[in-house]
Amino acid sequence: RKQLDFLKDSYSMLYPADKPPSALQVRDMNNAASGLDNLALMKERLASDPNILIKAAVPGSLGARDYVRWAREVADVYTRLRTGAALNEQEIVFYNSQLPGLLDFNNPEVVASSLAIFENLFKKVANQQAGISEVIDNNFQFSTGENPFAQ
């Protein structure tokens, strides 16, 4: 317990929770929030229209333009957070392929898994302002079910 307290205190001194985020962190946090918003819109459309992936596979489909735009935004935000740079065509194709597509039409588990990859990164970046105490408190659970950092 003393060693864990020491590590927590040392890390908190180096990276204080009250330190304002850098301009880069703010930009990334805003991008991640935008990604989460677009993911939420995609999930709503997937839930309300079971054929949206088929429609989205048809270029210019009237019923899928919003969905395609949201998916592109999600892929763009994801790649910028992962790489920090603009992408070439091969990278765009690769990251777009990570989103649910026509072949996933009848497989809700694959769709959910694909979206979770993006959502997990966006949530981590959007919440990076959390201090080390919150990060440790929210992520450490031991076999006893107790969190040694909980107050």
- Write out pLDDT tens, residues 88-107: 888 888 888 889 988 888 88
Per-residue pLDDT at 39? 95
**For residue 126, what pLDDT is reported?**
87
- Phi and psi at residue 49, in whole multiples of 5°? -135, 95
Name the pLDDT band for 142 (thresholds 50, 70, 90). very low
Element (H or E) spanning 37, and its range? helix 23-48
Distance CA 124, CA 144 (A): 26
The distance in angstroms from the start CA to the end CA of the chain is: 13
Looking at residue 129, its pLDDT comes to: 54
What is the pTM for the complete model shown? 0.67
Q: Could you report the per-residue pLDDT of 34-77, keeping only the tens digit for each?
A: 999 999 999 999 999 989 999 999 988 888 999 999 999 999 89
pLDDT of residue 135: 38
Q: Check the CA dihedral 142-112-85-30 and report its sign.
A: negative
**What is the b/e burial string over 69-94, where b = at least 16 CB atoms within 10 angstroms of the residue's CB?**
ebbebbbbbbbbbeeeeebeeeeeee
